[in-house]
């Protein structure tokens, strides 16, 4: 009898930590969550990943060492999951480990996730499936977003739904009533918010949008941010990341904005509205019949952002936790499912999402 237990690991664009789940895929559309762990990213490792997003000295060695450190953190999360569930490594079919994206340029034919899957397999005694994006990119796709096939398996219900993931970058999965699946990135979610609040207050993030709530959205600046970036006007399929939306992007636009610069907290409120406006615009253009929006990722915990989204979107907006799927574990659960899909030969790279020439089975396997 084939094993049905899979581990999923995710460390996203926000680089704030590792989320890990152990799930039972006896019923793939209804995975049973057996254990979960969230570990903070050590500050030195976080700083290194952020630095690796731009050109620098000795990048190959630094990336290799960062991958080793991430694999060690992943292994620690896996061992904590096993302890929680009182399970042994021999009971687990595979680990789905995404790694940390540091460069993503599908137009040039590459995407780079720093990882050390062989090290993770060695430290855990469990097979590891990694490198989920490159096969789709090689097939002419964006290699992102990766999760719409999983969202369909978990959330399809016979009516039109949008699944909105608010990590560092925002992406949507559009599920229509007839079973169709589309998906794409809409723009920045937490990445610019975190950069600005850290630069101005030293805090890692704006908890619950409280600082943004002390300010007001500056409409001229919001319009300038949207109008000055051609990526927002691109038609799907499309994907993005820190290669585009980073401190340089924000600093240049604040410098070039042809009016008095707003107060710091007003800029935070404006960046929060930028996330909401770009999501709402994407839904209005590409899924105007959306009946409800299910939100996951760390941004779902930001009540200020959730209020902005509900204000702009003419459909109910609610967190995935309302459906008993914790908002911060959806992506880790998705990578457990992607490992399951790889093991079962099920394509998860979808042309309707990424623009690839054909569906592809994603990931490469490193045996235990």
How does strand 100-105 pair with strand 292-296? unpaired
Look up residue 102 and give its two tokens: 């540091």
Nearest to 155 by CA among 279, 310, 353, 334: 334
pLDDT confidence bin for 13, thresholds 50/70/90: confident
pLDDT digits (tens, 9 = 90+) for 41-60: 999 999 999 999 989 999 99
Domain 5-143+358-366 architecture = 2-Layer Sandwich (3.30)
- List the domain boundaries for the chain: 5-143+358-366, 148-327
Helix/strand/coil for 153: helix
Res 78 pLDDT > 90 = yes
- CA terminus-to-terminus distance, the chain: 19
Helix/strand/coil for 335: helix
What class has domain 148-327?
alpha beta
pLDDT digits (tens, 9 = 90+) for 106-116: 999 999 999 99
pLDDT digits (tens, 9 = 90+) for 344-368: 999 999 999 999 999 999 999 999 9
Q: Decide if 5-143+358-366 and 148-327 have a common fold.
A: yes
Res 248 pLDDT > 70 = yes
Residue given tokens 């509205």 in the structure block: 273
Res 155 pLDDT > 60 = yes
Average pLDDT over residues 304-311: 98
Buried b (16+ CB within 10 A) or exposed e, 52-84: bbeeeeeeeebbeebbebbbebbbbbbebbbee
pLDDT digits (tens, 9 = 90+) for 159-198: 899 999 999 999 999 999 989 999 999 999 999 999 999 9
Res 29 pLDDT > 90 = no
DSSP strand E in the chain: where? 5-10, 17-24, 32-40, 92-97, 100-105, 110-114, 128-130, 161-166, 169-175, 181-188, 292-296, 317-319, 364-366
The rounded distance, in Å, linking the Cα atoms of 334 and 295 is 14
pLDDT of 2 reads 79
pLDDT confidence bin for 1, thresholds 50/70/90: low
**Cα of 200 vs its chain's centroid, Å:** 25
pLDDT of 244 reads 95
pLDDT digits (tens, 9 = 90+) for 257-266: 988 889 999 9
Share of the chain above pLDDT 90, in %: 94
pLDDT of 118 reads 98
Res 206 pLDDT > 70 = yes
Look up residue 352 and give its two tokens: 């309707």
List the strands of the sheet with 364-366, edge to edge: 32-40, 17-24, 5-10, 92-97, 128-130, 364-366
Q: What is the mean pLDDT of the chain?
A: 96
């Amino acid at each position: 009898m084939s094993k049905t237990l899979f581990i999923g690991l995710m460390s996203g664009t926000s680089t704030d930590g590792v989320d890990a789940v152990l799930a039972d895929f006896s019923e793939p559309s209804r995975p049973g969550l057996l254990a979960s762990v969230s570990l903070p990213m050590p500050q030195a490792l976080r700083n290194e990943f952020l630095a690796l997003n731009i050109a620098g000295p000795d990048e190959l060695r630094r990336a290799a060492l960062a991958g080793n450190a991430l694999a060690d953190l992943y292994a620690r999360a896996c061992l904590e999951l096993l302890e929680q569930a009182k399970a042994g490594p021999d009971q687990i079919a595979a680990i789905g480990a995404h790694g940390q994206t540091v460069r993503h340029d599908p137009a040039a034919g590459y995407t780079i996730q720093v990882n050390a899957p062989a090290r993770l397999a060695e430290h855990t005694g469990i097979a590891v499936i990694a490198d989920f994006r490159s096969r789709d990119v090689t097939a002419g796709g964006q290699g992102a977003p990766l999760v719409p096939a999983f969202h369909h398996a978990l959330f399809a219900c016979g009516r039109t739904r949008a699944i909105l993931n608010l990590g560092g970058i925002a992406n949507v999965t559009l599920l229509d009533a007839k079973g169709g699946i589309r998906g794409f990135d809409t723009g920045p979610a937490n990445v610019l918010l975190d950069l600005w609040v850290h630069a101005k207050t030293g805090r890692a993030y704006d908890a619950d949008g409280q600082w943004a709530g002390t300010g007001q959205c500056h409409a001229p600046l919001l319009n300038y941010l949207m109008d000055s970036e051609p990526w927002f006007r691109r038609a799907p399929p499309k994907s993005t990341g820190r290669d585009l939306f980073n401190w340089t992007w924000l600093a240049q636009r604040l410098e070039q904005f042809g009016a008095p610069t707003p107060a710091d907290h007003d800029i935070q409120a404006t960046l929060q509205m930028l996330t909401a406006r770009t999501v709402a615009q994407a839904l209005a253009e590409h899924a105007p019949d959306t009946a409800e929006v299910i939100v996951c990722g760390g941004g779902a915990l930001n009540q200020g952002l959730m209020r902005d989204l509900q204000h702009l979107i003419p459909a109910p907006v609610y967190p995935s936790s309302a459906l008993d799927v914790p908002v911060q574990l959806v992506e880790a659960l998705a990578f457990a499912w992607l490992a399951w899909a790889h093991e079962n030969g099920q394509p998860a790279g979808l042309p309707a999402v990424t623009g690839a020439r054909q569906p592809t089975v994603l990931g490469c396997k490193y045996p235990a």
